[in-house]
Structure 1
């Protein structure tokens, strides 16, 4: 790492520890709004990561809109730069290339804004979930892990200041992402914050049935720096899960909700939560749960994040006093180690998850 990169990392860790850091919002819809052509996609329609090579100007414009709105950091356009997602376009061999290009565009944008006013901006390297769930046997764990390492190495080469494993739905896939990212950090000699953001559905669990306690028990020991929630729901549905994390997590917390639950209308789906409502929710989450990182996900716009940034700027997250519980977790739930006089009955059966 260069001296400048080390200084940015130290400043980001200090910011996480002392104030609220604001990230950006939705990326995909902002890209699609600029109507890239089939040629821009190299005939791979919908593969947004290709735009890092063919139309960096479009990608850069999205970062610039969010920085202009007042955010501290942006995520790279690399949500699908992994083995599973790129494999569906038969370009899995381009994981590193597209990851590095996406990080470099965001780095250039962040540095340009920092040069204007002297305020440091950061780049979060986005590591998305892909489309394969290893728990269900969709892909081998080691194949996914090694591809996530390529993803992370590309992000580091392009200048990311932190890595965010986001929108995770399967704890085994999450572990593959975290271990791949950790291998990349070790291989390149980098020491960056590693963030994990899980997705909890309206059912109250992750897609494969994991409740938030199972996620915390499984992921915190992997040495991550921050855990939080993003996507699937609006802030209202995230509150109880954040309450649990605030009570039990030893590490810092984040939250990047959608702009509410999508509503289907004659013109398709739209997200109903306005910018003031999102700002209200994020301010309350900071005050109630001590969040270190806030942002937005599907349906959120630069205006949403402008109001969030205005609302939380100057707030100091209250000190949390977590009460972690030693526990073991299955795929579904966490069971605390508590000694009592009763025995624990464990029943097993064959089921659809194997």
Structure 2
């Protein structure tokens, strides 16, 4: 039986999986298809992808739910199936993981441009979307939530807030994108963002994707002072960064 994720990662390097979206395209999934819907439309495809990463040595796999929020699913007419799709994604990953591999429930940004238009979307709209995701992932049995690839500090803090409120038993990893050498597009410094995410309840903070490894290393360098208060999580950027 595996120990709790945060307990284990304090003393071990954990090797995660790689890009899921681009990998699925390589395996024949047509480009332009909503990948999150595959959790309910073609679960075997997702299960097999997880298994292949595990066979390659992954000790942690992410659920196929990066874009499975109400706003991103709206184009496919599936905005009312958020909880179902996330639960299915978690259950597929948990089944593939067995008793040794950790499962991280993946949550990406809403796709709404920040600062948002208050008349179109309210903070409560976003909270409810993230809430449905967290519920589905928690019910599906994930070990940790990974809130990743967020360009906006305001939005990532809101997502962490919802995660800690809705599933307080699950640790949260908070990751933002810092394309401008350790800062976000809006100019927020990686260290300030890391401190804010930890204060909001993230157990680990880090970065992913963005504009290549140099930008990511710059961000990690700025956040390195946080060691001892949080943990740094640095997945290597892949083409299209999983499903993006």
Per-residue Cα deviation, 1:201-252 (whole angstroms, up to 9, x for no partner):
1454223332213312322211210000101133222222212211135211
CA RMSD of aligned residues (A): 2.0
CA distance in 2, matches of 1:201, 1:237: 6
CA distance in 2, matches of 1:37, 1:198: 28
Among candidates 255, 265, 276, match of residue 234 of structure 2: 255
Among candidates 6, 31, 36, match of residue 49 of structure 1: 36
Residues 252 and 152 (structure 1), Cα distance of their counterparts in 2 relative to 1, 3 Å cut: same
CA distance in 1, matches of 2:75, 2:27: 24
What is the match of residue 68 of structure 1? 55
Secondary structure of 1:136's aligned partner: coil
Secondary structure of 2:37's aligned partner: helix
Among candidates 187, 190, 193, match of residue 212 of structure 1: 190
Among candidates 42, 45, 48, match of residue 58 of structure 1: 45
CA distance in 1, matches of 2:6, 2:181: 34
Secondary structure of 2:170's aligned partner: coil
Secondary structure of 1:167's aligned partner: strand
Among candidates 157, 160, 166, match of residue 175 of structure 1: 157
Among candidates 33, 54, 62, match of residue 26 of structure 2: 33
Gaps of 5+ in 2: none
Per-residue Cα deviation, 1:266-298 (whole angstroms, up to 9, x for no partner):
xxxxx6xxxxxxxxxxxxxxxxxxxxxxxxx83
Secondary structure of 2:36's aligned partner: helix
CA distance in 1, matches of 2:222, 2:105: 26
CA distance in 2, matches of 1:237, 1:136: 26
- 8 Å CA contact 1:82–1:92 kept in 2: the answer is yes
CA distance in 2, matches of 1:20, 1:204: 23
1:130 equivalent in alignment to 2:110: yes
Gaps of 5+ in 1: 1-6, 39-44, 115-119, 260-270, 272-296, 300-354
Secondary structure of 1:107's aligned partner: helix
Per-residue Cα deviation, 1:91-127 (whole angstroms, up to 9, x for no partner):
211110000000000000001xx4xxxxx11100001
CA distance in 1, matches of 2:10, 2:42: 36
What is the match of residue 97 of structure 1? 84
Which protein has the larger Cα radius of gyration, Structure 1 or Structure 2?
Answer: 1
**Count of residue correspondences:** 239
